[in-house]
Chain A
Amino acid sequence: MANAYDVIVIGGGHNGLVNAAYLARAGKKVLVLERRHILGGAACTEEVFPGFKFSVCSYVVSLLRPEIIRDLDLPRHGLEILPLDGTFTPMPSGDYLWRVNDHGKTHREIARHSRVDAEAYDEFGKAMQAMCRFVKPILSMVPPDPNTLNPRELMKLLFIGRRFQGMSSNDKYNQVQLMTMSAIDFLDQWFETDVLKATMSASGIIGTFLGVRSPGTAYVLLHHYMGEIDGAFRAWGFARGGTGAISNAIADAAREAGVEIRTLAAIAKIIVKDGKAKGVVLTNGDEIYADTISSSVDPRLTFNKFIEAEHLPADFLEDINRFKYRGSSGKVNMALDALPNFKAIPGPGAHLRGAISISPSVEYMEKAYDDAKYGNFSRRPYIDMVIPSLTDPSVAPPGKHVLSCFVQYAPYKLRPGLNWDDQKEAFGDTVVNTIAEYAPNIKDIILHKQVITPLDLEREWGLSEGNIFQGELSLEQLFFLRPAPGYARFRTPIQNLYMCGSATHPGGGIMGAPGRLAALEMLKDSKGAV
């Protein structure tokens, strides 16, 4: 008998929706099932307090693949990215470092701290862009399997090798360093200003359980230079209406292509018969059948929760159980009566329109990590703040503001005796107290506060152990090892079951690449099947 649907996509996060849209555009009949009442997964906007709309989890966009914006014609579906200009890093001394997109300004500002660094900063930018040119094609490539002898796969390895060969010996040198060094060891070679290194290194640890001195963190520095919006290099921005607007635009494009989307439709299990995925059972008991199942949720949910172990090879299960999540970050969203007033630059101003980074020194960053290693949230955490309401008034009542704080480290596994439900409030207070050291008026202007712990991320958003990337982005979990060696190509040991979430290559961030790449692979297979 013919199924009602060709494909069921589990999870209406941005990757699930991208996956669905590409499949539908290729003529597949697709159903998306989302557990929550709204779409977007971690890329959602919610009116948490009346009149205040928050990008509850993910809060800035940069890596959204341009080909996806083009293919799905997202601007027509309401996507509008507003620029996020610069990073403002206040220091305890009352001094600050304020980098903006304006090259001249940034050069003068860095020179204020160190002339040498100001020069080096330009060189650094150039070097990073050369690196990006090498890495980008890999982001839109299906990882080859080093274990195969399939010539097409080997060609891919060769292709990477050739591109590497093609680089100047300096670029090669930088590339291998980026892939292997710690952010600080790498930056130490370029810069002398501590606060500059500290605030730059921060991008290397976001979402990982690593410190700025941990090898492997240098690579993520690239992402800051890879950001691309409407072709504008390394621009970061907000979506008008919050990150949820991105998901909604993708959902819109998907619906237009014929995708059916159901919210409040939670999966209980994936139906597997003799090694083939046949459909899903919802928590309400409904059974829905399809030729193909595509899961955008993380491997733990897909393989440990929705599928009985007996359907999976022991080796694969062992690898999936070993896949590391280890959420290390939380989120604190605040509704503000007025703007925070920073000691470093008093009053309102452009410095509040960009990212505000609490990363005053390398030692500060590393100590924040030390706390987490032993199961405590950082006494003085790294905080990345944005005030979208300054750029997009639609998200707060007139004169009022929303403040979004990404906070690290908040380890999912607290030390024995502590649990997040008890620590939640203390965690929120720590964040406020930390900010207060730089903007003393913060305590007086908070109308409402929403604290999201790693445990909340797991419970509410289905991110195992609260990892915002559906699995740590550490070297041994990247490329052909993501999420499991031999299964990095969106396929699974179960026929007709695919993965399309951030737990697959190239990983997390509002990139959409996994969803798209998975769709292309699925279409390849379905052609083969005919």
Chain B
Amino acid sequence: MPENRSGVRDLVIIGGGHNGLVTAFYLAKAGFKPLVLERRAQVGGAAITDEFHPGFHCSTLAHTAGPIRADIVRDMQLEKHGLRLITPETCVTALSPDGRALSLYQDENKSAQSIAAFSQKDAAKYPEFEKSLGKISKVIAEALATTPPDIDHPSGGDMWSMLKTGRALRNLGKRDMYRVLRWGPMAVADLVAEYFETELLRAVIAARGIFGTFLGPWSAGSSLQLLIRAAGDSHPAGSAFFAAGGMGALTQAMASAAKAAGVEIRTSAEVIEIRVKDSAATGVLLGTGEEISAKAVISNADPKRTLLKLTDPTHLSPDFVQKLQHFRGNGTVAKVNLALSGLPTFTALKNADTNALKGRVHIGPEIDYLERAFDESKYGNFSRQPYLEATIPSLTDPTLAPDGKHVMSIYMQYAPYKLKGDWEDQRKALGQTVVQTIAQYAPNLPEMILTHQIITPLDLEEVYGLTGGQIFHGDLALDQFFTMRPLLDWARYRTPIENLYLCGSGTHPGAGLSGGSGANAAREILKLLKK
């Protein structure tokens, strides 16, 4: 039974996003009684499902799981709590303007076959690339699951885990070890060109290196993004992981698992201030004026929101504040969700092969196409020929839409948060651009649209609380990764304020819907709480 609200809670967690729920679960398992406070009416943060049109349900923001880390699924027994993952055999289908389509599958040989239709050479190279990526990603995964070492005073544990990672690196063997060192800082466009000659194949793999970032395929370091994503899912172009009922079902299962473990969750409970006394967090203040005091406060919100908005910066050193202000996080992604009266016909897919559409659909046929899309955003315009990742989840999960009808969920890039002009005025134009771009591949799409839901980077900030509209809580870049996420010396889920911790994507490893940050944070916070 939760303690009296006026009494002192042991743990308050700000934000019921997937990482917040994961952290809450592990802390409850360890015997604490965390209280999760969610600003919105439903938990889930960016992993939610909404009925955006009568009878039409869609993953409002994230539309595929990161994928969620297997050990977390296991520990939380998410299946038992109602999670059903759908992993279609088709991972991604890349469309080209010349009316061809390239599908990549879970099965390596099947992928190689469809690549062979474009290039025998690439088909031969593909398994080699998948193999290297597979080996390397295991090592990266290890690094992502560890807490970044303390730079100034590495503890014995730090040394050990560094040693372990170092050993794992060496065990890759000379070639693959050098690959990791070489690939990290490379432009993903160069990486894919080292293996493949087919532009469509290059582009669909390179897309993993730029998704959600303010990088183009020619930006150095975009390969690192690919490696980080590969750590959770070593499929070269990325698999497709859906949750039955949409991404909201994933976080609902997490919430139910957390509750079962003893977590209390309150929705429509917006924290407007983190109370600090003598540079130690003492609790939170809600919008309603309610005060909740706690022994420790853990924030699932992004670092800037947590420390510059919810906390009175006077509790922080000017130096720290300045550095945090420089933590880059200007979003580049917009989201468009469509309710459709039927399934659009893609000219590239002969005899209406719906299997090809069951995974992700990639639009961005060439490296240069992706780079040009990026170019526009550098100067404050959204891409007129954008890179799109679309999914039609109703194909694999009919419960999402009425019979014969469908929902299409589309990530659009690049939509710069810092726009020349005003997002409100350009919202419509953005939607049109997305629809027209897809219509080039599926001409009958426009007449099937029953409704649009258009989510701009500004909406991501204002409605969903993602500062700068950055879906990863801050750019994933070489200089904001590992021991530098969010800041060098502050990558260990602690903050300069006693008893105030971070557990969101703004901390290591931070990429996508993996729960990694939440799990790492819980482990570190436990150590500290037990002291």
A residues at B contact (CB < 8 Å): 146-147, 165, 169-170, 172-173, 176-177, 179-181, 185, 188-189, 210, 213-216, 315, 322, 324, 363, 366, 370, 373-374, 474-476, 480-481, 485-486
Q: Is B170 close to A, CB under 8 A?
A: yes
Q: Is B177 close to A, CB under 8 A?
A: yes
Question: What is the CA–CA distance of A480 and B219 in the complex, to the nearest angstrom?
Answer: 22
If over half of A's interface residues share one DSSP class (helix, strand or loop), that class is named, otherwise mixed; here it is helix
- With contact pairs A169-B152, A486-B174 given, residues A374 and B478 touching in the complex (Cβ less than 8 Å): no
Of the four ranges (under 10, 10 to 19, 20 to 34, 35 or more), the interface on chain B belongs to 35 or more
- With contact pairs A172-B488, A485-B178, A486-B174 given, residues A215 and B194 touching in the complex (Cβ less than 8 Å): no
Q: Is B448 close to A, CB under 8 A?
A: no
B371 engages A373 (CB within 8 Å): yes
> In the complex, which residue of chain A has the Cβ closest to the Cβ of B222?
A215
19 additional A-B residue pairs with CB within 8 Å, beyond A169-B152, A485-B182: A146-B177, A147-B170, A170-B319, A172-B151, A173-B488, A176-B483, A180-B185, A181-B477, A181-B479, A188-B326, A215-B220, A216-B220, A324-B190, A370-B375, A374-B372, A475-B185, A475-B220, A481-B182, A485-B178
Question: What is the CA–CA distance of A229 and B121 in the complex, to the nearest angstrom?
Answer: 53
Interface-central residue, A165, A179, A214, by most chain B CB under 10 Å: A214
In the complex, the 7 A-B pairs of residues with the closest C-beta atoms, listed nearest first: A475-B185, A180-B478, A485-B178, A180-B479, A215-B221, A216-B220, A215-B220
- With contact pairs A169-B488, A215-B221 given, residues A176 and B479 touching in the complex (Cβ less than 8 Å): yes
Question: What is the CA–CA distance of A366 and B221 in the complex, to the nearest angstrom?
Answer: 18
Contact partners of A210 in chain B: CB under 8 A: 220
How many whole Å from B387's CB to the nearest CB in chain A? Answer: 16
How many whole Å from B321's CB to the nearest CB in chain A? Answer: 13
Which residue in B178, B219, B371, B483 is a CB contact (below 8 Å) of A147? B178
Q: Is B181 close to A, CB under 8 A?
A: yes
Which residue in A165, A170, A188, A374 is a CB contact (below 8 Å) of B368? A374
Q: Is B484 close to A, CB under 8 A?
A: yes
Q: Is B489 close to A, CB under 8 A?
A: yes
Question: What is the CA–CA distance of A486 and B183 in the complex, to the nearest angstrom?
Answer: 15
Q: Is B379 close to A, CB under 8 A?
A: yes
Contact partners of A189 in chain B: CB under 8 A: 326
B residues at A contact (CB < 8 Å): 151-152, 170, 174-175, 177-178, 181-186, 190, 194, 215, 218-221, 319, 323, 326, 328, 368, 371-372, 375, 378-379, 477-479, 483-484, 487-489
- With contact pairs A147-B170, A173-B488 given, residues A214 and B219 touching in the complex (Cβ less than 8 Å): yes
B375 engages A177 (CB within 8 Å): no
Contact partners of B489 in chain A: CB under 8 A: 169, 172-173
How many whole Å from B357's CB to the nearest CB in chain A? Answer: 32
Interface-central residue, B215, B220, B371, by most chain A CB under 10 Å: B220
Contact partners of A173 in chain B: CB under 8 A: 323, 487-489
Contact partners of A165 in chain B: CB under 8 A: 151-152
B368 engages A177 (CB within 8 Å): no
Which residue in B170, B186, B372, B479 is a CB contact (below 8 Å) of A177? B479
How many whole Å from B155's CB to the nearest CB in chain A? Answer: 14
Question: What is the CA–CA distance of A170 and B379 in the complex, to the nearest angstrom?
Answer: 31
Contact partners of A476 in chain B: CB under 8 A: 181-186
15 pairs of residues in contact across A and B, judged by CB atoms under 8 Å: A146-B177, A147-B170, A169-B488, A169-B489, A173-B487, A173-B489, A176-B479, A176-B483, A176-B488, A177-B479, A180-B478, A181-B478, A188-B326, A474-B186, A476-B183
Contact partners of A216 in chain B: CB under 8 A: 185, 220-221, 478
How many whole Å from A3's CB to the nearest CB in chain B? Answer: 34
- With contact pairs A146-B181, A147-B177 given, residues A373 and B478 touching in the complex (Cβ less than 8 Å): no
> In the complex, which residue of chain B has the Cβ closest to the Cβ of A218?
B479
Contact partners of B190 in chain A: CB under 8 A: 324
